[in-house]
Structure 1
């Protein structure tokens, strides 16, 4: 009976410790969609072709499936410990494929607080990972060759 009590107590303790954390959970900002800002939108002018718009804004996140005359550029930033910021730019084209209307939603003028990742991370496919190392990193990772080699 005493052995059963110990097993049950140990299992309950492990369940509580592993499932319920009072320390907190790490969260990170989640950006999604096309990053759009006021500088990009200010370059747009009515009468621009779709190719010119694509050069300035990039490919749209959403193209209406039944009506190719409307492009939506949507950006959403779900802040880890804050609110959700959403920006949307809707572009409408006339039947000749020229930009006719620009609609904006959200604050496009504010800068987004992206943190820079100074970690090494994975290398981009097709590149040499050693090319991204700085001289300082190379000295930290390379074995020291200043010791004399003893010869027999």
Structure 2
């Protein structure tokens, strides 16, 4: 009887070999298909670029503020024109998800004698 047990260990049957080789392949196939199926369910986060200005910050902006005060409040402008250093441009864009439309807002600040004189653009509080 012990001889039979050793024979099955040393020379396994064809059925045992087929079962041993197919199981890992089937498992790998199922895992691979699950990964492919779930990869389309990923969350696409918003992409924000530029100067994001909060409504409360925008409400603090006042005519007559110095350049330093404005920069402290809003941050560094996206663009300062080399030929018109008294014009500062703040630009903000956001893309909702990977294929969403890009929403863009801009604001131009004008200075005279280091004091804020004009505020123009489509930044809205909120």
Offset of residue 93 of structure 1: 0.5
Offset of residue 83 of structure 1: 2.4
Higher share in helix: 2
Q: Where do 5+ consecutive residues of structure 2 fail to align?
A: 1-35
Q: Which has the higher contact order (CA 8 A, sep 6+)?
A: 2
Aligned residues: 88
2 CA distance for matches of 1:83 and 1:89? 20
Match of 1:93 among 111, 115, 118: 111
Match of 1:76 in 2: 93
Match of 1:138 in 2: none
Q: How does 1:105-124 map to 2 (within 5 A)?
A: 105-106=122-123, 108-110=124-126
Offset of residue 41 of structure 1: 1.8
Match of 1:35 in 2: 52
Match of 2:28 in 1: none
Q: What's the secondary structure of 2:114's corresponding residue?
A: coil
Once the two structures are superposed, what CA deviation does each residue of 1:34-61 show, in whole Å capped at 9, x if it has no partner? 1113222211111111011111111111
1 CA distance for matches of 2:54 and 2:121? 10
Match of 1:53 in 2: 70
Q: What's the secondary structure of 2:119's corresponding residue?
A: strand
Q: What's the secondary structure of 1:48's corresponding residue?
A: coil
> Pairwise CA RMSD of aligned residues?
2.1
Higher share in strand: 2
Q: Where do 5+ consecutive residues of structure 1 fail to align?
A: 1-20, 111-152
**With structure 2 as the length reference, what TM-score do the two structures score?**
0.60
Judged with a 3 Å threshold, the aligned counterparts in structure 2 of structure 1 residues 98 and 46 are, in CA distance, closer, same or farther, namely same
> Rg bigger for which structure?
2
